[in-house]
Amino acid sequence: MLPRSFAACLGLLGMLMASHAAASISLNATRIVFDGDHKEANITVRNGNQDVLIQSWVDNNDAGASRAPFAVTPPLARVFAKEQQLLRILYEGAGMPTDRESVVWLNVQEIPRASETENTLQLAIRQRIKIFYRPAGLPGSALQAPAQLEWRLVKQGVQVKNPTLYHVSMADLKVQTQLASDSTMIAPGEVRTFPLGAPLNPGPVLLSFSSINDYGAQNHYSAALSGNASASVSATESRLNP
């Protein structure tokens, strides 16, 4: 059993962390679609009830990769309480594939003001969202891509192939009652297998998932899979994210 004084210190530390870990800023979108026909994309950062400094940049989500050919302006900005700041994401004009959609990440890091209270723990909270760079004149449609995924049952589980030029973001991928993935993204041309924890019953099985479109809405899809034959899904309903 922990001594009372030590337990009290832990409790105080937890309270301090809880009080300063909540983000003061919020973004007005959960994803950004960068249209290659345009020179820039924008997002708004809204601030809560305290002045903060925000630092923003774009990366490839890969420490070993070259830097992403995007710039954010302003890269550093002070946002006053109850105010907002527009961030402009600019593409350098080269360095991204032109034959398919690509993904990079926008980082917005909140740096709080120095606390006037001694022995206060403060955290710099970073928010990350995807930027989908969509080259000009790309054939096909991101909205139709989820329905064009090709699914089949394999020995290891369920396999999907994305024959489109667009990423498909999915949530709650289920085969019968088994959750194969709670959240994932299938890249253009990617083939992925999702292992299942239990054998499936003989006969057709129901596959279902929700995809998230450019506007944050969820579209629900389902299909009946049988044997190793490839099958496509069909939409059953749509709903907006809260």
User: In what order do the strands lie in the sheet containing 31-35?
Assistant: 31-35, 125-134, 102-112, 52-59, 76-79
Domain boundary among 134, 169, 201: 134
Do 183 and 111 sit in the same domain of this protein? no
Per the structure, the count of domains in the chain is 2
Q: Give yes or no: residues 112 and 175 share one domain.
A: no
Whether residue 213 lies inside any domain: the answer is yes
Whether residue 5 lies inside any domain: the answer is: no
d(CA 16, CA 140): 51
The pTM is what?
Answer: 0.83
| pLDDT the model gives residue 17 | 44
End of a domain among 134, 161, 181? Answer: 134
pLDDT at 61: 83
Per-position pLDDT tens, the chain of length 242: 445 554 444 444 444 444 445 568 999 999 999 999 999 999 999 998 788 999 999 999 876 666 899 999 999 999 999 999 999 999 999 999 999 999 999 999 998 776 666 666 667 789 999 999 999 999 999 999 999 999 999 988 999 999 999 999 999 999 999 999 999 999 999 999 999 988 887 778 999 999 999 988 899 999 999 877 788 888 876 554 44
Residues 92 and 122 grouped into a single domain: yes
d(CA 21, CA 13) in angstroms, rounded, equals 12
Q: Does one domain contain both 167 and 111?
A: no
Which pLDDT value is given to residue 240? 46
Question: Is position 69 within any domain?
Answer: yes
Same domain for 156 and 223, yes or no, is: yes
Are 31 and 118 contained in the same domain? yes
Q: Are residues 129 and 154 in the same domain?
A: no
The pLDDT of residue 223 is 92
130 vs 32: CA distance, rounded Å: 6
Q: How far apart are CA 207 and CA 201, in angstroms?
A: 13
**Does residue 90 fall inside a structural domain?**
yes
- DSSP string of 132-160, one letter each residue: EEE-TT--S-TTTHHHH-EEEEETTEEEE
Domain ends where: 103, 134, 165?
Answer: 134
Q: Do 39 and 129 belong together in one domain? A: yes
Q: What is the pLDDT of residue 209?
A: 96
Same domain, 160 and 63: no
Quick one: 30 and 130 in the same domain?
yes
- Residue 8 in any domain: the answer is no
Residue 96 lies in a domain: yes
| pLDDT at residue 119, as a whole number | 61
Answer yes or no: is 200 within a domain.
Answer: yes
Looking at the structure, do residues 203 and 149 belong to the same domain, yes or no? Answer: yes
Same domain, 128 and 154: no
CATH number of the domain enclosing 47: 2.60.40.10
Its domain, for residue 88, covers 23-134
Asked, for residue 11, whether it belongs to a domain, the answer is no
Distance in angstroms (rounded) separating the CA atoms of residues 35 and 142: 12
